[in-house]
Amino acid sequence: MKKILIAAVAAMSMVFAGGDIVEQQVVQPELTGFYGSVGYAYIDGEATSLEYDDTAKVSNNAVDLRAGYNINEYIAVEARYAIGAEDTVSINGNDEDVQADYDTWGIFIKPQYPVTTDISVYALLGYGNVTGDLEGYKELDENGFQWGLGAKYGVTRNVEVFVDYINVYNDDVIIEDESVDLDVYTVSVGVTYKF
């Protein structure tokens, strides 16, 4: 009986001592896909008359606000709103004493591709609106397809900086009974926080 106990203890000590000790890794919880952004947008609009040799140009500084959800690392959905400040209109290259501003919003599908662990590039495909309040003229209010391109850099696990371009509107419209080729785009920079 004594020999059996000694053999059992020796076998058990071999079992416990024989295997490699596996370190327990602490897995950080995954971030949810929600994020929010704030930034600066430059909104540029140009309306060229199709009947007369006139071009009106409005450039605005704007606050750019965004909310989105990363479905995975390759696709997100995003909503944006840029609030423009009043500025002077340029007609045929001459500044006019007329105040105007643009506001834009859009809802986008956002395909994205991680180039490195910190840098990603993305496209924006969606639908949105641009409104323009031009003093003394009919207010502009147009909806349509919007597209854009951008890049982002991860500063920390939660914080990114971005720069992008969006073609907000590019089509013919009627303003004050006149056919006009309207072209509006934004260039934005800002900071994103991932929750």
Considering 98-102, 111-115, 182-186, the range whose residues carry the highest mean pLDDT is 111-115
- The structure tokens listed for 15 are 């079992």
Rg (CA), the chain: 28
- The larger pLDDT score, comparing residue 5 to residue 121, is at 121
Show the domains of the chain with their CATH numbers: 34-194 (2.40.160.20)
pLDDT at 26: 45
pTM score, whole prediction: 0.74
DSSP 8-state code for residue 177:
T
Q: Copy the structure tokens of residue 98.
A: 């007329």
Which tops the pLDDT comparison, 106 or 50?
106
pLDDT at 41 exceeding the cut of 80: yes
Task: Identify the helix (H) or strand (E) that includes residue 4.
Answer: helix 2-18
Any idea which residue has 């907000």 for tokens?
Answer: 168
| pLDDT confidence of residue 86 | 72
Please state, rounded to an integer, the average pLDDT across all residues of the chain. Answer: 80
Would you place residue 169 in the very low, low, confident or very high pLDDT band (cuts 50, 70, 90)? confident
Does the pLDDT of residue 27 top 50, yes or no? no
Q: Which residue bears the tokens 């590039």?
A: 121
Contact 43, 71 (CB under 8 A): no
Distance CA 120, CA 163 (A): 11
Mean pLDDT of 145-169: 95
DSSP state of 20: P
Q: How does residue 141 score in pLDDT terms, banded at 50, 70 and 90?
A: confident
Mapped onto helix, strand or coil, the DSSP state of residue 15 is helix
